[in-house]
Chain A
Amino acid sequence: MGFSGLASQLIMFLAVITIASGIVIILNGSMNDATSTITTQTDTLTLTMKTDVTIDMITYNNNENATYVYIKNTGKTKLKVNETDIYMNGYRIPRNMTNRSIEVLQDTDTINTGTWDPKEQVLVKVFQELNSTSTHKVTITTQYDVQDSEEFSI
């Protein structure tokens, strides 16, 4: 390879680098926006993947016509009880309805009072008369769309 061949290759290489850098600089703004969006989505994904809840026990109280559901936060994220949804036999119990209540059990609420921290247990009460001749299903869904369901009979 002569000097002229080497020089032309070097020039081509520098041209490639220069053009590529120029494109990156030009598109920097767009990339920042894209990065920000991706970060937000990643945050959501991270929280979802770290969240887990498990129903520990379901009991039906005949005197109150109420279903008691004890659920443990078996994940690694803090959850909000007022953003938790409850479904009974597929029907959602609206959050503002007086026939449902949800609270972090005091004797488990050792960190951040009122927040459903990992390892803490909540009690959900659904005041709704249930048919004793069929099985029922309760589903609990957290704010990150992670849920647990269990069937029970009374």
Chain B
Amino acid sequence: MGFNSLATFVILFSIGMSMIVGFLLVYKDYFVRSSVSLDSRQEISRQKLNSDIEIQSAGLGSEVGPYEIIIENQSQFEEGIFDNTTATENSGYLRIDQENLSGSWYSDIYEFNQTLNFSKIEISGSVTVPQENISIKIRTAKTIQKLTGDFIGPDGTTNTNYTIGSSQDIYQSHDGDKVIQIKAILERESDIREPQIDKINITYKITDVINLTIKNSGKIRLDKEIMDYFIDGERINRTQVISSEVDETTDILNPKLWDPEENLNVLISKNISSGSHIMSAVNEHSQKDYETLTT
């Protein structure tokens, strides 16, 4: 090979090599990140394809509970409104301000996402009749905006009161409401007397319960907290889900995790009219199933 041919070869080879090196330097990052992105895309697709649910049953459930509203310490009393009353620091009881002979207290407004049946009220404290008097009334409503009615006692009128002592039945007309507020009035003949309320305890149950059983019929574990439900196309707020637990009888792998072939028992608080409805459940990968719910 003559010198000129060799020189030409060297030059062309050098240019070729530098182009290859330059190409690799420029596109190295692209290839690596594209590969990672492709993996992510494949994972998204794989999860969707391998994910599936089947609603096994849908029906009305019975009341769930009991649950309690408990007011017993200073901070809980302070969530309400004092009118010539105060809550003491150490033991947290409600009493009349020192210079007054009467006072009242309105509790915080307790609002729930579910429809409730209020069962019992129990008030702990001390009062010496007739020198002292404590009277408690309740009012409820469907919404905070509608909480404008009178506070009423155990007979449904403003003439009676719930009193300190053993547990008393709450008047039935409060059932079906979602918002509750308590009013307490404390009275005494002289400022050496000290009527006090130590604790107020209200028990209630959640009504209008829909019971669902959903099977993880796919091939991957699902997150039971990221499920969405619809009735007749209307979305149910996730806060209306009372409970969502893996059925013990199917919970074979990984306790409490919703693995494939395992069932999820769901309780939802939702008032629905009688008749047929379409219940839909959607999982975190947007796979869904439908079932007719007849009441």
Which A residues form the contact surface with B (CB < 8 A)?
A: 12, 15-16, 19-21, 23-24, 27, 31, 34-35, 38-39, 41-43, 45-46, 49-50, 52, 54-59, 68, 70, 72, 74-76, 105, 107-108, 119, 121, 123
Supposing A74-B48, A74-B286, A119-B284 touch, asked if A46 and B14 sit within 8 A by C-beta, the answer is no
Separation of A44 and B194 alpha carbons in the complex (Å): 72
Answer whether residue B44 sits at the interface, using C-beta atoms and an 8 A cutoff: yes
Quick check: B25 and A31 within 8 Å, CB to CB? Answer: yes
Interface size on B (CB < 8 Å)? 40
Residue pairs across A and B with Cβ atoms less than 8 A apart, 10 shown, are A19-B11, A19-B15, A19-B18, A31-B26, A45-B33, A45-B37, A55-B286, A59-B230, A74-B286, A108-B228
Answer whether residue B129 sits at the interface, using C-beta atoms and an 8 A cutoff: no
Q: Which residues of B contact A43 (CB under 8 A)?
A: 33
Q: Which residues of B contact A35 (CB under 8 A)?
A: 25-26, 29
Quick check: A38 and B285 within 8 Å, CB to CB? Answer: no
Quick check: B285 and A74 within 8 Å, CB to CB? Answer: yes
Quick check: A19 and B48 within 8 Å, CB to CB? Answer: no
Interface of A, secondary structure class, is helix
Quick check: A20 and B17 within 8 Å, CB to CB? Answer: yes
Separation of A75 and B40 alpha carbons in the complex (Å): 9
Query: Chain B: which residue is nearest A54 at the CB level?
Result: B286
Quick check: A24 and B21 within 8 Å, CB to CB? Answer: yes
Answer whether residue B38 sits at the interface, using C-beta atoms and an 8 A cutoff: yes
Separation of A56 and B44 alpha carbons in the complex (Å): 16
Quick check: B41 and A34 within 8 Å, CB to CB? Answer: no
Query: Chain A: which residue is nearest B280 at the CB level?
Result: A57
Q: Which residues of A contact B226 (CB under 8 A)?
A: 119
Separation of A45 and B34 alpha carbons in the complex (Å): 8
Q: Which residues of A contact B238 (CB under 8 A)?
A: 107-108
In the complex, per-residue mask of B253-287: 1 if CB is within 8 Å of any chain A CB, else 0: 00000000000000000000000000010101110
Quick check: B288 and A15 within 8 Å, CB to CB? Answer: no
Minimum distance in angstroms from A121 CB to a CB of chain B: 6
Report which of B10, B15, B34, B36 forms a contact with A12, defined as CB distance below 8 A: B10
> Which residues of chain B in 20-48 are interfacial with respect to chain A, using CB atoms and an 8 Å cutoff?
21-22, 25-27, 29-30, 33-34, 36-38, 40-41, 44, 48
Minimum distance in angstroms from A12 CB to a CB of chain B: 6
Supposing A20-B17, A57-B230 touch, asked if A38 and B30 sit within 8 A by C-beta, the answer is yes
Quick check: B228 and A52 within 8 Å, CB to CB? Answer: no
Separation of A123 and B223 alpha carbons in the complex (Å): 21
Separation of A24 and B17 alpha carbons in the complex (Å): 10
Report which of A59, A76, A123 forms a contact with B40, defined as CB distance below 8 A: A76
Quick check: A23 and B44 within 8 Å, CB to CB? Answer: no
Separation of A92 and B37 alpha carbons in the complex (Å): 30
Quick check: B233 and A42 within 8 Å, CB to CB? Answer: no
Answer whether residue B89 sits at the interface, using C-beta atoms and an 8 A cutoff: no
Report which of A38, A49, A58 forms a contact with B26, defined as CB distance below 8 A: A38
Supposing A23-B15, A23-B18, A121-B228 touch, asked if A57 and B37 sit within 8 A by C-beta, the answer is no
Quick check: A20 and B14 within 8 Å, CB to CB? Answer: yes
Quick check: B234 and A49 within 8 Å, CB to CB? Answer: no
Supposing A42-B30, A70-B228 touch, asked if A19 and B10 sit within 8 A by C-beta, the answer is yes
Separation of A43 and B33 alpha carbons in the complex (Å): 8
